[in-house]
Amino acid sequence: MKIEGFDLTRIAMPLVSPFRTSFSTQTSRDILLVRVVTDIGDGWGECVALGDPRYSPEYVDGVVDVMRRFLIPALAGGGLTAPLVAERLRPFKGHQMAKAALEMAVLDAELRAEGRSFGRELGAVSERVPCGVSVGIMDSVPELLDAVDAYVAEGYLRIKLKIQPGWDLEPVRAVRERFGDDLLLQVDANTAYTLHDARHLAKLDSFELLLIEQPLGEHDIVGHAELARMVTTPICLDESIESAADAAAAIKLGATSVVNIKPGRVGGYLEARRIHDVCAANGVPVWCGGMLETGLGRAANVALAALPGFTVPGDTSGSGRYYRTDITEPFVLDDGHLTVPTGPGLGVAPLPDMLAEVTTSTQWVSL
């Protein structure tokens, strides 16, 4: 295909409630959407970078700059296919989330033109995927219990609690005592601890958690391997894994026994599939993480989560978990599952009126 240009659209999406993690509290999302215009049709991508560089080095203003100045110009010329996007962008170091959004848009355009779905392209084997939900840090344990109770009542099959020093053992104990041992429960530290906290983290073993996600710093692979030998709860890596090579190395070192795959963090859905394949070959289960995506990113994540190695319910929550109104037709939980879209490309597209209502700016970058 030949690219004519990209629309870079900023939207403001207020959250239904504040979402607090160990690194920030979000009340709304400043999201960059990417629409590619090609000679075979249009495609949509969504960038998962946050408004500031707290979760990762990338942030929305920086993404727009690097796309305009470097990444988009590198995609000029005919004969472009989705697998070639990563190859053309490889000379530019980092910027995985920016690259992922561009690849997603090109892949969507290509698949829409060919009448194929994301699920079929990636290798989905399921028509529906089981869903978990991520629960942020609360002001009190009773508030947390009320929130978890509501999500369990909605039908979510797995609960993930955000933790940090000072908010870990007590809330986990309270949730386990209230909801029992049958509840699939895991925790996510978002790098909030160090290896010096190993004995404290080992106290989580008594709660029979599915996993402890990213307890240490993203670059501390060796520390995670040491921690894995000191606790019985499986260690899951998130921020540490940016490629299939990272996943292979972490598995070989014993630093992880479960992997959270976030396509934006690893540079796109094609690299996410490669990570899935590496983990499957090593008998390591994977699950699909979330970044508070709109229906565009959610559609692609649900398709990815339908691959055979995704045996742990992911953060592929329904649209209503974060947004009162989505920019696409909403994803609605059905008996704890979401249906994998089967239409061409993502199988969904922004609703024009909804998109216009939340748009804060647009930029056209021609080639």
Average pLDDT over residues 320-329: 96
CB atoms within 10 A of CB 268: 28
Residue limits of CATH 3.20.20.120 in the chain: 119-339
pLDDT for res 219 = 96
> Under a CB-based contact definition with an 8 Å cutoff, are residues 6 and 38 in contact?
no
pLDDT above 90: residue 22: no
Rg (CA), the chain: 20
pLDDT above 90: residue 2: yes
Secondary structure (DSSP) of 116-149: -BHHHHHT---SEEEBEEEE---SSHHHHHHHHH
Of all residues in the chain, what percent are helix, strand and coil, respectively (each to 5)?
40, 25, 35
Phi-psi region of 234 (alpha: psi -120 to 50; beta: other; left: phi over 0): beta
> Would you tell me which CATH number, out of the four given (3.60.15.10, 3.30.390.10, 3.40.50.300, 1.10.10.10), belongs to the domain 3-114+356-366?
3.30.390.10
CB atoms within 10 A of CB 225: 16
pLDDT category of residue 78 using cuts at 50, 70 and 90: confident
Active-site annotation holds for 262: yes
Q: How far apart are CA 196 and CA 186, in angstroms?
A: 21
Lowest mean pLDDT among 16-25, 87-96, 130-139: 16-25
- For the chain, how many residues are written? 367
pLDDT above 90: residue 264: yes
The amino acid at residue 83 is P
CATH H-level, domain 119-339: superfamily: Enolase-like C-terminal domain (3.20.20.120)
Q: What are phi and psi of 138, to 5 degrees?
A: -110, 170
- Reported as a single tens digit per residue, the pLDDT across 327-347 is 999 999 999 999 999 999 999
pLDDT for res 178 = 97
pLDDT for res 160 = 98
The single residue of 93, 160, 252, 262 carrying the catalytic annotation is 262
Q: How far apart are CA 134 and CA 153, in angstroms?
A: 15
pLDDT for res 126 = 97
The single residue of 2, 93, 162, 203 carrying the catalytic annotation is 162
The helix/strand/coil state of 244 is helix
pLDDT above 90: residue 125: yes
Q: How far apart are CA 196 and CA 200, in angstroms?
A: 9
Q: How far apart are CA 33 and CA 64, in angstroms?
A: 10
> Under a CB-based contact definition with an 8 Å cutoff, are residues 334 and 285 in contact?
no
pLDDT for res 24 = 85
Give the residue from 279, 293, 292 showing the smallest Cα distance to 346. 293
The amino acid at residue 236 is C
Residue limits of CATH 3.30.390.10 in the chain: 3-114+356-366
How many C-alpha atoms does 337 have within 13 Å on its Cβ side? 12
- The H helix count followed by the E strand count for the chain is 13, 13
Strands 25-38 and 41-47, bridge-based pairing: antiparallel
